[in-house]
């Protein structure tokens, strides 16, 4: 069944990892098929959400603490 | 002399190798945020991610002479982080931060953003983000890494292949499958 195949190909389609012809063929199907289009939109939305997730920060003291443990490491090696 | 902030990673590495150890802090500054946002979604535990992040920098520092400057420094450091995270995950049962945990600290860990959203929208967004993180953490380790590298860190397939030590084709197949799986898991949540 073509829809099943199209849905399989969606993750690749989203990144345009296809030849021009293949891409056009899938795009044509999406224009005509409501169900596949919904699937496509849901996947795009998921990726969009992933890519706009807020980033975490490290604690303010992080850099100092790394540099301190480097020093300790060095002292151990020297001593 | 070039201002510090305009030094390339490789120039900094050279300085450190020549004995200017303090310059290593420039690399920490540059990569701490990237690494925590690789390690946290992998481990789902902030404290452990911070600890491991520190370990990554120690390992980078002590293996700096093995760094091959034909590679991007970022690829190398991500690769080290990736390997340490896998070891860590193999070792023990993960202590996943509770999803419902009302963590007052959390606000300060997360960049302030989306001020234009209403409180209701912010709450919904937060819930959605947690659901996505939970869905990611239920994937197998490799799929999880690839999703994070691609969609949180915007790495190219070539870089992802170098970081995970896999052929580009495998990386692509695996991430395409992982995306579908993620969709399925999130559908179940709804
Ligand atoms: Zn269809």
Query: How does pLDDT run across A3-59, given as a tens digit for each residue?
Result: 999 988 898 898 888 899 999 999 999 999 999 999 999 889 888 888 888 888 999
- Do B1-95 and B112-190 agree at the fold level? no
> Is domain B1-95 given the CATH code 1.10.1740.10 in the classification?
yes
**B128 CB near a chain A CB, below 8 Å?**
yes
**CB nearest B151 (choices: A51, A58, A74):** A51
Ligand 1 mean position to A23 CA, how many Å?
A: 15
Q: DSSP string covering B158-169, please?
A: HHHHHHHT--HH
| Residue A56 DSSP one-character state | B
**B77 CB near a chain A CB, below 8 Å?**
no
Name the percent of chain B lying above pLDDT 70.
85
- CATH code given to domain B112-190: 1.10.10.10
**CB nearest A62 (choices: B32, B61, B176):** B32
Q: What is the pTM of this model?
A: 0.80
**Percentages of chain A per state (helix, strand, coil), in multiples of 5:** 75, 0, 20
- What residues of A are in contact with residue B28 (Cβ under 8 Å)? 62-63, 66-67
CB atoms within 10 A of CB B56: 25
- Nearest of B88, B37, B84, B33 to residue B58 by alpha carbon: B84
The distance in angstroms from the start CA to the end CA of chain A is 71
What is the spatial distance between Cα B145 and Cα B162, in angstroms, rounded to a whole number?
Answer: 13
- What residues of B are in contact with residue A59 (Cβ under 8 Å)? 50
Q: Is B110 helix (H, G, I), strand (E, B) or coil?
A: strand
* CATH level 2 (architecture), domain A3-78: Orthogonal Bundle (1.10)
Q: Tell me if ipTM is over 0.90.
A: no
Residue A18 φ/ψ, nearest 5 degrees: -135, 165
Q: Are the beta carbons of B148 and B42 closer than 8 angstroms?
A: yes
CB contact under 8 A, A11 and B108: no
**B21 CB near a chain A CB, below 8 Å?**
yes
CB contact under 8 A, B33 and A58: yes
Q: Are the beta carbons of B134 and B99 closer than 8 angstroms?
A: yes
| Residue A55 DSSP one-character state | P
Full pLDDT tens readout for chain B, 190 residues: 667 778 899 999 999 999 999 999 999 999 999 999 999 988 888 999 999 999 999 999 999 999 998 889 999 999 999 999 989 988 876 666 654 444 445 545 655 455 677 888 878 878 888 888 889 988 999 999 999 999 999 899 999 999 999 999 999 999 999 998 998 888 866 5
Mean pLDDT score across all residues of chain B? 86
- What residues of A are in contact with residue B111 (Cβ under 8 Å)? 54-57
Place of tokens 């659901």: B131
Ligand 1 mean position to B76 CA, how many Å?
A: 42
Structural domain boundaries in chain B: 1-95, 112-190
Q: How far is A67 from chain B (nearest CA, A)?
A: 7
What is the spatial distance between Cα B33 and Cα B29, in angstroms, rounded to a whole number?
Answer: 8
Q: What is the largest CA-CA distance in chain B?
A: 58
CB contact under 8 A, A70 and B186: no
């Amino acid at each position: 069944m073509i829809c099943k195949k199209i849905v399989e190909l969606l993750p690749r389609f989203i990144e345009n990892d296809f030849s021009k012809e293949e891409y056009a063929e899938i795009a044509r199907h999406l224009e005509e098929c409501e169900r596949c289009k919904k699937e496509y939109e849901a996947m795009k939305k998921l990726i969009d959400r992933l890519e706009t997730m807020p980033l975490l920060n490290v604690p303010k003291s992080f850099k100092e603490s790394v540099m301190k443990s480097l020093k300790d490491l060095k002292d151990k090696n020297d001593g | 002399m070039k201002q510090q902030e305009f030094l390339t990673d490789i120039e900094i590495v050279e300085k450190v190798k020549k004995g200017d150890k303090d310059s290593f802090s420039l690399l920490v500054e540059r990569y701490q945020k990237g690494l925590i946002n690789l390690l946290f979604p992998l481990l789902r535990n902030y404290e452990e991610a911070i600890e491991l992040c520190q370990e990554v920098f120690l390992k980078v520092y002590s293996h700096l002479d093995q760094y091959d400057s034909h590679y991007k420094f970022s690829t190398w450091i991500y690769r080290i982080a990736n390997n340490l995270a896998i070891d860590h995950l193999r070792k023990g049962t993960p202590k996943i931060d509770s999803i419902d945990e009302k963590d007052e600290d959390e606000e300060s860990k997360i960049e302030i953003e989306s001020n234009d959203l209403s409180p209701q929208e912010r709450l919904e967004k937060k819930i959605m983000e947690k659901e996505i993180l939970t869905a990611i953490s239920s994937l197998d380790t490799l799929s999880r890494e690839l999703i994070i590298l691609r969609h949180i860190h915007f790495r190219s397939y070539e870089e992802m292949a170098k970081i995970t030590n896999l052929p580009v084709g495998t990386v692509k197949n695996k991430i395409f499958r992982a995306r579908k799986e993620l969709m399925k898991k999130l559908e179940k949540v709804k």
